[in-house]
Structure 1
Amino acid sequence: MIKRCLWLWVMCLAAQVCQAATGVTLVDDRGVTVRLDAPPARIVTLLPSLTETVCELGGCARLVGTDRYSNHPASVRSLPKTGGLDDANIELIASLKPDVVLLALSSRVTDRLESLGMKVVALEPRTYKDVQRVAGKVAQILGSADGGARLWQRLEAQVDAAAKGVPASARGLSVYYEVDSAPYAAGESSFIGETLSRLGARNIVPASLGPFPKLNPEYVVRADPQVIMISQRHAGDVGARPGWDRIRAVRDKRVCAFSSEQGDVLSRPGPRMGEAAQVMARCLRESVAANKGGAVR
């Protein structure tokens, strides 16, 4: 009887150790320690860059719901859409019975989800270092020991390759990157600004103004950028803005107008940043010859 009890005790202890070994413990961007008993089988993501990171790391099949803006890869488009950053559908998320919800640090539903007993991990990539860190955290959640490091190495190589494709004549060009027609711009300290720097471009918005500052339109006129990067939706009215017809980029037809699909790639700090770098590098290459062939596309 004693031997049998001892054997059972050893077996129980071994089971507990194994269970602990398969669990996941991490600190999210709130500084909160989150403990998962096992790598999650059911994941809800509430930020497109997190959706793309999960999929890039092989976890797409574990997604049971995403925010309304997640549209890549194509397989996530058919998943239940739970709303946006400020209007996430709590009831729908709960009905999906997620093992974990991955969302932005700025999300307003974190406390509510946790009050309902859901595990929440807040991760918000804003810079290159953030993307590297978030890739590692998501890989950890998925139970992939080195997936994050491999993803980051691939991104770095892709950005380096894009930079090598920018000719010397395009390096040093001053760039205004508009993220919204208010206008909001991508500054040097943003992940977009970091990519521009890696490509050898000179951002007219210094880091001191923040990553995505709202600018006075006159600021852009005074800065007189040589290249403008902007969405197709707002590119048509650039020359009609007060004083903007005097900007070199407008006068010399160095305006890169990005499609909505390209905009998604460019605006998401995640696995497609290498592709984004290629898009911007192509804009810089074409800009040096823009005077010969009309507006840059």
Structure 2
Amino acid sequence: MRRWLLALLLALTAWPILAVTVTDDRGVAVDLREPPRRIVSLLPSLGETVCALGACDRLVGVDDYANWPASVRSLPRVGGVDDPRIERIVGLQPDLVLLSSTSRALGRLQALGLPVMGFDIKTLGDVRRVLSRVADALQVGGADAAWRRIDAGVAAAARSVPPAQHGVSVYFEVSAGPYAASESSHIGEILARLGAVNVVPGHLGTVPLLNPEFVVRADPQVIMVAQRDAAALAARPGWPRIRAMREGRVCRFTAEQGDVIARPGPRLADAAQLLADCLAGRLQGDRP
């Protein structure tokens, strides 16, 4: 009996402690009794982060815009930041929901007893932090390695930009409005590492709504825009006078390329290379 009790004590001592507490970007400590196996993501970048950490098979539902990697395209769709389908989320019986810290779904899902983690991802530092927090929640490794791949990829993209293009002024339009990526956004931070000068200052916010006249006065040398919005630029008052328009330095990103650049997640090395290709004149519509 004594030997049996000793063996039991040793077994209990050696048993792994699976419960973890992870603090999200709201400052809320989320208790997870065991590694989550059924995860719902309500942001494309968060779903991509789960997959980059080798846990794609744990996703059981994604937002309406998730499309990478290809395996997530067949998963149930549960809405987005502003229009989450709560009943469908609950029906998937998730043991963790990942979403924006500003999502209106947070309180409703918490009230229904679901573990939720809210994140605010706007900068490269945010991407690194979220990789680490999500890895902690999933109880997997790989966050540091994933960040090193991103950082090294951005550095490689920077080396591919010709020195003659360093210091070029750039305007990056996120969507018509116009909404632009400022110096303080993840796109702005990547542009800075590539040696470009963003004409939209960071103090306006990460993705501010601009008066179109602001861009005319800034007179950027390069314009980066979604392919779907490019044709309308010339109709904006004063825009044909902008240097980038006159010299044909307008990079038109496809919807797929736009997703890579706009989503602050694990594919930012690819995003940096797309931006570098634009600066170097390797994209359609850019003639330096």
Same fold per superposition (TM over 0.5): yes
Q: Identity percentage over the alignment?
A: 55
Matched letter for residue 104 of structure 1: S
Instruction: Name the residue aligned to 1:174.
Output: 169
Is the aligned partner of 1:34 residue 2:30? Answer: yes
Instruction: Name the residue aligned to 1:144.
Output: 140
Instruction: Name the residue aligned to 2:286.
Output: 296
Matched letter for residue 194 of structure 2: L
Aligned-partner SS, 2:120: coil
Using the size of structure 2 for normalisation, the TM-score is 0.95
Q: What are the within-5 Å matches in structure 2 for residues 1-297 of structure 1?
A: 7=5, 11=8, 15=12, 18=15, 21-145=17-141, 147-286=142-281, 295-296=285-286
Deviation at 1:124, TM superposition (A): 2.3
Aligned-partner SS, 2:103: coil
The CA distance in 1 between the partners of 2:13 and 2:67, in whole Å, is 40
The CA distance in 1 between the partners of 2:106 and 2:14, in whole Å, is 31
Aligned-partner SS, 1:286: coil
The CA distance in 2 between the partners of 1:34 and 1:15, in whole Å, is 25
Aligned-residue RMSD, C-alpha: 2.0
The CA distance in 1 between the partners of 2:14 and 2:114, in whole Å, is 24
Unaligned runs of at least 5 residues, structure 1: none
1:268-287 deviations in Å (ceiling 9; x for gaps) = 00011000000000000007
Matched letter for residue 246 of structure 1: R
Matched letter for residue 145 of structure 2: R
1:232-285 deviations in Å (ceiling 9; x for gaps) = 111012122111111000000000000000010011000110000000000000
Matched letter for residue 48 of structure 1: P
1:57-96 deviations in Å (ceiling 9; x for gaps) = 1000000001111110010000000001111111111111
Deviation at 1:12, TM superposition (A): 7.5
User: After TM superposition, where is structure 1 displaced by more than 2 Å over at least 4 residues in a row?
Assistant: 10-19, 294-297
Deviation at 1:18, TM superposition (A): 3.2
Aligned-partner SS, 2:256: helix
How many matched pairs?
A: 287
Aligned-partner SS, 1:71: coil
The CA distance in 2 between the partners of 1:84 and 1:129, in whole Å, is 24
Matched letter for residue 102 of structure 1: L
After TM superposition, the structure 1 stretch with the greater mean CA deviation from structure 2, 48-57 or 21-30, is 21-30
After TM superposition, the structure 1 stretch with the greater mean CA deviation from structure 2, 231-240 or 126-135, is 231-240
Deviation at 1:295, TM superposition (A): 2.5
